């Protein structure tokens, strides 16, 4: 059975080699006549103003933080999901408490406006 994980590894190597073939072939085949204008950054034909790596909206971070919480919740739900029928009513109630706490967190976040895109 463990050999199946090795198959993934072997296919990963195949997938690693695969994009190299067209890239190398295209590199050999295509013309290369670069000029200063061609090599410039394309921003709709205007001259580039300022840095690219500037500050961006804080909302992205809020979503990322909320994501981490709920993704961890999901990770906890998965092992429960394969066995919840054997755990019976007790398992169901325990998981309900867990989910309710997190749903409360989501509702709080929603109320606080962390999920608003302003």
With CB under 8 A as the contact rule, the residue among 47, 58, 60, 113 that binds another protein is: 60
Question: What is the Cα–Cα distance from 63 to 51, expressed in whole angstroms?
Answer: 25
What one-character-per-residue DSSP string does the chain give? -THHHHHHHHHHHHHHHHHHHHHHHHHHHS-----TTTTS--STTSPP-S-SS----THHHHHHHHHHHHHHHHHHHHHHHTTHHHHHHHHHHHHHHHHHHHHHHHHHHHHHTTT---
Instruction: Indicate whether 45 belongs to the interface with another protein (CB under 8 A).
Output: no
Instruction: Indicate whether 111 belongs to the interface with another protein (CB under 8 A).
Output: no
With CB under 8 A as the contact rule, the residue among 47, 55, 58, 71 that binds another protein is: 71
| In the complex, least distance from residue 108 CB atom to another protein, rounded to whole angstroms | 13
Per CB under 8 A, residues contacting another protein are 1, 3-5, 7-8, 10-12, 14-16, 18-20, 22-23, 25-27, 29-34, 38-44, 48, 52-53, 56, 60, 63-64, 66-67, 70-71, 74, 77-78, 81-85, 88-89, 92, 95-96, 99, 103, 106, 110, 115-117
């Amino acid at each position: 059975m463990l050999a199946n994980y090795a198959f993934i590894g072997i296919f990963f190597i195949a997938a690693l080699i695969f994009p190299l073939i067209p890239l190398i072939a295209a590199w050999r085949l295509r013309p290369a006549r670069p000029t200063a204008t061609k090599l410039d950054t394309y921003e709709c034909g205007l001259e580039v103003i300022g840095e690219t790596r500037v500050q961006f909206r804080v909302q992205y971070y809020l979503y990322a933080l909320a994501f981490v919480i709920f993704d961890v919740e999901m990770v906890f739900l998965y092992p429960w999901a394969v066995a919840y029928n054997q755990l019976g009513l007790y398992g169901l109630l325990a998981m309900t408490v867990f989910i309710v706490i997190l749903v409360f967190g989501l509702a709080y976040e929603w109320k606080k406006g962390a999920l608003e895109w302003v």
